[in-house]
Every structure is written in structure tokens, then in C-alpha cells.
């Protein structure tokens, strides 16, 4: 499955994604963000769900962690999504503060 196909299955026609440093509008821009993450962190970078998504009445939450496949966790966070017609209309990407070592 291509990124474009996956995004079309997950998102409404004109979604909005709120990142900590940017607001991204449209499927093409969300695809660009995904491509930039892979370019920055490499093709084995993965987002792994922590449990299952929960939600009701058009709102969903999914906690996750991310990092290189078979490597250390680089970042943790959660996505909160507004759902319309079974697809994501608006997505908030929330990053947890880095833990002190």
C-alpha cells in the first residue's frame, strides 16, 4: 500500500493536522510530513501504538512511542483525532516531554 493510498483511507478529503510546531492542511501536506520524517530518521523509523485507540462521539485517542526498528525509543506521545464519517478530520499530535537522564 502506498502512503497516498493509506492517507486517503485514513483521512477526510481536507484534513488538518496540528503538530507542536506547525499546522498542516490537506492530504498532500500530511503525506509530505510523513515523507520528511522518513527522510530525517531513516526507513526503519516506526510509530508503535501503546495499547488500543479509545474514543467515542467522534473523538479518539491513541498513545504511541517511536524510534528506529529494533532500536531505542526516540519519542513518546499521543494523537487525538476528530473523526467524521469514519475518517480523521482533525489530528492533534502531542509529544511527551523528554525524560531527564
17 in any annotated domain? yes
Which pLDDT score is estimated for 101? Answer: 61
What is the CATH classification number for the domain harbouring 60? 3.10.450.50
31 in any annotated domain? yes
100 in any annotated domain? no
Which pLDDT score is estimated for 100? Answer: 67
- Number of separate domains in the chain: 1
51 in any annotated domain? yes
Rounded-to-integer distance, Cα 89 and Cα 67, Å: 26
User: Whole-structure pTM over 0.85, yes or no?
Assistant: yes
101 in any annotated domain? no
Nearest to 94 by CA among 71, 69, 70, 62: 62
86 in any annotated domain? yes
Q: For the chain, list the strands marked E by DSSP.
A: 11-19, 22-25, 45-49, 54-56, 59-68, 75-84, 87-95
Q: What is the pLDDT along the chain (101 residues), one digit of tens a residue?
A: 788 899 999 999 999 999 999 999 999 999 999 889 889 888 899 999 999 999 999 999 999 999 998 889 999 999 999 999 999 999 999 999 987 66
Amino acid at each position: 500500500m502506498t502512503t497516498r493510498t493509506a492517507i486517503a483511507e485514513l483521512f477526510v478529503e481536507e484534513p488538518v493536522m496540528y503538530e507542536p510546531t506547525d499546522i498542516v492542511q490537506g492530504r498532500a501536506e500530511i503525506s509530505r510530513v510523513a515523507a520528511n520524517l522518513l527522510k530525517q530518521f531513516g526507513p526503519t523509523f516506526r510509530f508503535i501504538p501503546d495499547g488500543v485507540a479509545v474514543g467515542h462521539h467522534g473523538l479518539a485517542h491513541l498513545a504511541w512511542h517511536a524510534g528506529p526498528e529494533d532500536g531505542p525509543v526516540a519519542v513518546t506521545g499521543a494523537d487525538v483525532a476528530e473523526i467524521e464519517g469514519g475518517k480523521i478530520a482533525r489530528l492533534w499530535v502531542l509529544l511527551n516531554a523528554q525524560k531527564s537522564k
